Amino acid sequence: MWLSILIYSLLVLSSLLFCLIFGLPYLLSLALPERLRGRVIRYIILVYGRMIVYVAMRPCIRVRFEDLSGGQRRPGIYVFNHRSSSDPFLVSVLGEEIVQIVNGWPMRLKFYGYFARLGEYIDSTAGDYASFAAQIRMLNERGVSIVAFPEGTRSGGRHMNAFRSGIFHLARELRLPIYPGCIAGNEEMPTRRFKFKKSGTIMVRLLPPILPAEQDQFPSAYALKIAVHRRIRQETAKMDKELDDAVIQPGK
Amino acid sequence: MTRDRLIELINQIFVDQFELEPEELTPEKRIFEDFALDSLDIVDLITGLQRKFGISLRDNKDVQQIRTLQDIYDLVEKLARDNPDLIAKLPE
């Protein structure tokens, strides 16, 4: 319990500090046209996420990011496994302008939901396939990548739930690269009940992309989905083992 | 055309389109839970069935009742009985 109190205190304090620093740019952005405002807000969200991941949680949680994607990344679709509510913060390690596809309830949160809406985040519960395709195409043309958690909900453990197919249909239709991403170590940071049960290391690993030409080799979006699920599942199992084997102290 | 042949052709769609292993394809398997197909995949499945059997499933209400592989076998068999001309064109 004390760990949760400590971490949430750090989060609140750093958020307040962040609001003081970025309050003025945020207010100025409200006067901008929608498209430009979205860009400014996404940049603010990115800096906020990185501050939470690399500064605010640092006394208790260390985050290691490994980019195995090779070469320069172009805007596409990042597909991550989803164990914990810390995942949407952890994707800030990518260091690029992104829009996340999120469930309805986070979009309705007072603080995070407000900024998510301003940042043109996509509510997976509001819209149909055609409207998502149009949104993603438009964002991609502006150089914005999409982050999706196709499990749809947090697994809360080391297992992975089945993927939904929508994002894989969209990737094939829009000819976008898929970047499989793996997050391990955060299944109790925090738990599904938002409690931090331990401190330690979280690993984020980006795997080589599946480019449109490779996606064409799959007979269906379903087959692509199953292949991506398998790659992430195998890699997160390796990462779990690495975390179990290595005694990695925070701050080292 | 025998029921066995119909089952074989249906299973072939699952193997070709969804890369499932033939030994996984047993009648009691639930297509949503066991194979993790979702509504968009079902659209692909319907397209595959229509293409393979030359039948239209667009307005077929029974499609919405499909839960297991057995349900698909039964549906296609029923349609085969109703459309002997179309099914006759299938390779034996």
A191-208 tens-digit pLDDT: 888 888 888 899 999 999
Residue of B nearest to A220 (CA): B17
The distance in angstroms from the start CA to the end CA of chain B is 7
Mark yes or no for CB contact B36/A163 under 8 Å: yes
Listing DSSP states for B51-92 in one string gives: HHHT---TT-GGGGG--BHHHHHHHHHHHHHH-HHHHHTS--
Using CB atoms, which residue from A164, A220, A223 is nearest to B38? A164
Euclidean distance between CA atoms A192 and A183, whole angstroms:
16
What φ, ψ does residue A155 adopt, rounded to 5°? Answer: -80, -30
Instruction: Put residue A74 in one of left, alpha, beta given phi > 0 → left and psi -120 to 50 → alpha.
Output: beta
Residue of B nearest to A224 (CA): B18
The mean per-residue pLDDT over the stretch A55-74 comes to 91
The mean per-residue pLDDT over the stretch A68-86 comes to 92
Beta strands in chain A (DSSP E): 61-67, 77-80, 98-102, 122-123, 145-148, 178-184, 200-206
Q: Is the dihedral of CA A195, A198, A199, A204 positive or negative?
A: negative
- Confidence at A248, pLDDT banded by 50, 70, 90: low
pLDDT at A174 over 60: yes
The mean per-residue pLDDT over the stretch A151-172 comes to 94
pLDDT at B90 over 90: no
The mean per-residue pLDDT over the stretch A214-225 comes to 95
- Confidence at A217, pLDDT banded by 50, 70, 90: very high
The kind and range of the H/E element at A109 are none
Cα separations (Å) of A158 from A53, A85, A99, A163, B32? 21, 14, 25, 15, 22
Which of the following CATH numbers is that of domain B3-15+29-88: 1.20.120.160, 3.60.20.10, 3.40.50.12280, 1.10.1200.10?
A: 1.10.1200.10
The amino acid that residue A206 corresponds to is: L
Strand partners, A181: A80, A206
**Residue A139: which CATH number?**
3.40.1130
Average pLDDT, chain A: 92
Q: Is residue A150 part of a domain?
A: yes
pLDDT at A42 over 90: yes
Strand partners, B17: none
Interface test with A, best of B16, B19, B31 (most A CBs within 10 A): B19
Contact A233, A150 (CB under 8 A): no
- What pLDDT, on a 0 to 100 scale, did the predictor assign at position B88? 66
- Is A218's Cβ below 8 Å from some Cβ in B? yes
Q: What angle do CA B28, B30, B36 make, to 5 degrees?
A: 145
| Nearest residue to A96 (alpha-carbon basis) of A166, A179, A28, A219 | A179
Domain with A137 in it: 2-245
Q: Is the dihedral of CA B79, B81, B86, B91 positive or negative?
A: positive
The mean per-residue pLDDT over the stretch A58-74 comes to 91
Euclidean distance between CA atoms A201 and A207, whole angstroms:
19
Taking each helix axis from N to C end, the angle separating A129-141 and A166-174, rounded to the nearest 10 degrees, works out to: 50
Contact A167, A148 (CB under 8 A): yes
In 3-state terms, what secondary structure has residue A74? coil
Name chain B contacts of A164, Cβ cutoff 8 Å: 38
Euclidean distance between CA atoms A123 and B41, whole angstroms:
21
- What pLDDT, on a 0 to 100 scale, did the predictor assign at position B5? 87
Q: Is residue A250 part of a domain?
A: no
pLDDT at A68 over 90: yes
* Residue B92 distance to chain A (closest CA, Å): 24
Give chain A's domain count. Answer: 1
The model's pLDDT over B10-20, given as tens digits with 9 standing for 90+, comes to: 999 999 999 99
Residue of A nearest to B41 (CA): A222
The model's pLDDT over B29-85, given as tens digits with 9 standing for 90+, comes to: 999 999 999 988 998 999 999 988 888 887 888 888 899 999 999 999 888 888 777
The mean per-residue pLDDT over the stretch A7-33 comes to 90
- Confidence at B91, pLDDT banded by 50, 70, 90: low
- What pLDDT, on a 0 to 100 scale, did the predictor assign at position A105? 87
Q: Is residue A252 part of a domain?
A: no
Q: Is residue A186 part of a domain?
A: yes
